[in-house]
Structure 1
């Protein structure tokens, strides 16, 4: 039998394999996009041939490539397409950016910036400016009288509402806004001067902004080409933190799916992307979509190692006017990338039963409504057994012992967002019963045998924020620990973004650990996540990232022997 040619050997490394049978190693060999051997330096180097590239990692740490279990990857690159206001500390700083944009753009072209505040969260908005307010329309008019100007408020999932927007007079006119204008959606306030005229400032308390869908239809949406370039940039940013796969269970709108497909067809998709559908139906046409339009998404879905689409996201709750505005705006979905919903529990039951009937996997963000969702799933299970279908609940909050038993019976899979859930939004839980140990109880779930996974939620993109939040479980405003008994060890936390993430896409036999026969997806890290101090965990990034044995991030030059 002909011995396989070894294309590349990484050696002199501290390899954390995430394989409990062989948890550590010094070297690994890659052939044909797969891992050929993992072991000691001498053992693996003996496989080298004359054409083998030897990569001396000089003691650096290697892990499996990270699997972001709730990525929203398409957003990140879009942020780079608009002028940043991150440096702005005064209204004058903001106006300087607008003035420069006006000077370089043709007359009449829109000027749209990123929000005021510090990325990635944009906490505080205008409180970051010395004046403590947004510029008004007259101030914006003074520096850009011939360009419509729009400074959007934050996308609430990044930070915390309210969001503060500002428009100049021309932008207001383009959107037919005046003192008599009123929003259709709740949570939007047009700020007025004492005489009733609009100041150009708008305040929104919705977590996912409806302003552009409701009142600002003239503001140019991200185009298909914008989204394509944004996705191309996004995957490079995610690769820089060692991420090699994303799972998008929150759902992708039709345009988002098309953008992924285009990048895939162009041969430019380097991130293993697992997507599900964000429905744009109404109850009247849901059956047709489930029966006919989504046939390609049944079971494990269709696709290849780089792009696979399967299942649907079913939302619960939401405001009817927001859902209607979102659908009117399609294909534009703003920053969300998915379609907003308004589903009562009865609507949710109707759609979930239809999905089960047509073998469409269901993914649902449940927050603190897990018990209600499990009631629905158990009723469906009596007619369409769910075991083996791997239905997924995401963004879990409170979980009871009974919930855990029910999820085990149903074969439910779980994704979590530790930074979003505990650190960013955990303040109401600091005085929860039992010390908050029933809130996103990661350790309990792991000990119960669930391959729980975690995601970045794009806030920020580094998966080590999820690791850090799982280890320390501190809430950001008080520093208090929520659920001390649920804090994870470093190994357990790494499982959330490696081996466990592979189960979400039925690929636990192909990726998530570094062992012979699996995909050569791996990251060479800036520090060892098993030994760095807690406060340094979220600063870890990748020096090198490989997908299928191919370098997608970093420079190999310093490591070649």
Structure 2
């Protein structure tokens, strides 16, 4: 009898322990809860909590996740929005080097002149002063810089300041002299030297500022590494957890494997350009402190590309190879030299310039295609888009790809600023050619578009809804460098407003969920990483941001005034707003 009682007691104790075992919490590293979690999954579902372990998302759901999981770090979002980190599909990191001023933050020509005086005093006479990011619309004087402006501030220093967008620059008199540019210098191929009323160079060079930049002594990569790291960390503050670097090169690979000899003509790599070798070394050193990068590779020519042992997709979830690009098929509107099918407004006979003959463009596309590369070429004007799509279509239809289905090459155009004829978009839809669009251009280049475009092209600049909705063309968002900042792009995409408050082509606007998807999940799809990132779903990398406002319901002005409060890459907090 005693034995039976003991057995029964043991059975009851065992049974009472079962619920405790069944409800034991699973240990994870991080839980964020009490928020509005935009998963950006297929249904665009909204949750309130996320659990993360070993850099990946374990689960999403409601507050009951706190009953299922325990974590060493639990973050109460207090109702704020958590969403996937932005994936910028076309971006140029531009570090501020030792000889640079930063005209990007200037509000007047006078302020830029003050920067030049200080830098001249710091560097001493004869030293080059450089910089990037001025934009006449942001300056109180509302005009381009001239060489006279630069001469007045730094007469004893050669100066070259590149305009935002990098399609034009202004040079000082001393800089022009050192470069051998005078009133008799012909326009370089694909570029234009502006002249003043007396026929002298006025300082502005469109598209081909390299004719001056080539004589500037370049800092070593060792001097630029720290500024580059600072620039990349700055992206995290903007909520960018991954980006496609449109400036990539392979020039410093070994000779015979895609690289060029260090003493070869033109072998110097610009300090702001990331090479595949530099990127791998930098990310090996910095670990998970930087946003993930997919590197475009500028077409190096057929022989060098054939000798390079890798192609699109090679790498890991930190650094990988992307498309051949953004080799410029035409210029841009910051020049302006974008190649148009019609004359620029107020400039009879001027339609911009193309960079390639049809044969040259076809050779680049076909060679890259045969070697397994994705394509992502720069084409801004409608004439350039037509030429690019014709070359893409011919190559896609005649050269098989053993690795990908005909409708899954994921080739794309960079920019797609001026909407081309419908026949061209129909070809894009048929051949599954996509768009890496910069909706922020509408906002930041409003004054240029108003001045240069006819009414129809103005209304459809940087179009989104027509290609996406009418033709079913896949669109991913990016910011290029005008300036970097996804929130401005989202504002422009949903409002179609410029800084003036004018709406340009309301029919090209998209909904907030669509715009958010285009700046997150679609960027991952462009690099064939849709199973790894771009949404907040179980199994994916925990690349997430916390916003100070609700992007689905807040007043549109919140996109311009709001902030990213926190950024996570692989479940690690890499930015917190002070």
Please confirm whether the aligned pair reaches a TM-score higher than 0.5, indicating the same fold: yes
Q: 1:494 corresponds to which residue?
A: 516
Alignment match of 2:433 (pick from 406, 412, 434): 412
Q: Is the 8 A contact 1:69 1:501 kept in 2?
A: yes
What do you get for the CA RMSD once the two structures are aligned?
3.7
Kindly report which structure 2 residues correspond to 1:229-248, keeping only aligned pairs within 5 A, or say none.
229-248=226-245
Shift of 1:452: 1.2
Q: 1:328 corresponds to which residue?
A: none
Relative to structure 1, the CA distance from residue 217 to residue 71 in structure 2 (aligned partners, 3 Å threshold; closer, same or farther) is: closer
Shift of 1:179: 6.8
**For 2:461 and 2:106, how far apart are their aligned partners in 1?**
40
Counterpart check, 1:225 vs 2:242? no
Relative to structure 1, the CA distance from residue 530 to residue 120 in structure 2 (aligned partners, 3 Å threshold; closer, same or farther) is: farther
Relative to structure 1, the CA distance from residue 58 to residue 124 in structure 2 (aligned partners, 3 Å threshold; closer, same or farther) is: closer
Q: 1:347 corresponds to which residue?
A: 360
Q: Any unmatched runs of 5+ in structure 2?
A: 1-21, 252-268, 332-352, 401-405
**For 2:76 and 2:422, how far apart are their aligned partners in 1?**
48
1:23-60 deviation per Cα after TM superposition (whole angstroms, max 9, x unaligned): 1111100001100010111x2112333x5211111111
Shift of 1:102: 4.8
The alignment covers a number of residue pairs equal to: 498
Q: 1:140 corresponds to which residue?
A: 154
With the length of structure 2 as denominator, give the TM-score of the two structures: 0.76
Q: Any unmatched runs of 5+ in structure 1?
A: 142-147, 320-339, 557-561
1:65-84 deviation per Cα after TM superposition (whole angstroms, max 9, x unaligned): 00011111x21x32797234
Structure 1 range deviating more: 419-428 or 229-238: 419-428
1:180-208 deviation per Cα after TM superposition (whole angstroms, max 9, x unaligned): 8736635225779x8x9x8xx842141x3
With the length of structure 1 as denominator, give the TM-score of the two structures: 0.78
**For 2:414 and 2:181, how far apart are their aligned partners in 1?**
41
Q: 1:431 corresponds to which residue?
A: 455
Relative to structure 1, the CA distance from residue 430 to residue 541 in structure 2 (aligned partners, 3 Å threshold; closer, same or farther) is: farther
Kindly report which structure 2 residues correspond to 1:326-365, keeping only aligned pairs within 5 A, or say none.
342-365=355-378
SS of 2:74 mapped into structure 1: strand
**For 1:343 and 1:273, how far apart are their aligned partners in 2?**
29
Kindly report which structure 2 residues correspond to 1:118-157, keeping only aligned pairs within 5 A, or say none.
121-123=135-137, 127=141, 134-135=148-149, 137=151, 140-141=154-155, 148-157=156-165
SS of 1:46 mapped into structure 2: helix
Q: Is the 8 A contact 1:439 1:483 kept in 2?
A: no
Q: Is the 8 A contact 1:317 1:344 kept in 2?
A: no
SS of 1:6 mapped into structure 2: strand
Relative to structure 1, the CA distance from residue 100 to residue 488 in structure 2 (aligned partners, 3 Å threshold; closer, same or farther) is: closer
Q: 2:540 corresponds to which residue?
A: 518
Counterpart check, 1:182 vs 2:182? no
**For 2:326 and 2:238, how far apart are their aligned partners in 1?**
30
Query: In terms of Rg, which structure is larger?
Result: 2
Counterpart check, 1:472 vs 2:495? yes
**For 1:102 and 1:442, how far apart are their aligned partners in 2?**
48
Q: 2:527 corresponds to which residue?
A: 505
**For 1:495 and 1:473, how far apart are their aligned partners in 2?**
17
Counterpart check, 1:381 vs 2:393? no
Q: Is the 8 A contact 1:10 1:54 kept in 2?
A: yes
Alignment match of 1:395 (pick from 407, 415, 431): 415
Higher relative contact order (CA 8 A, sep 6+): 1
Shift of 1:382: 3.1
**For 2:425 and 2:462, how far apart are their aligned partners in 1?**
13
**For 1:513 and 1:139, how far apart are their aligned partners in 2?**
50
**For 2:491 and 2:310, how far apart are their aligned partners in 1?**
38
Relative to structure 1, the CA distance from residue 490 to residue 244 in structure 2 (aligned partners, 3 Å threshold; closer, same or farther) is: same
Counterpart check, 1:78 vs 2:96? yes
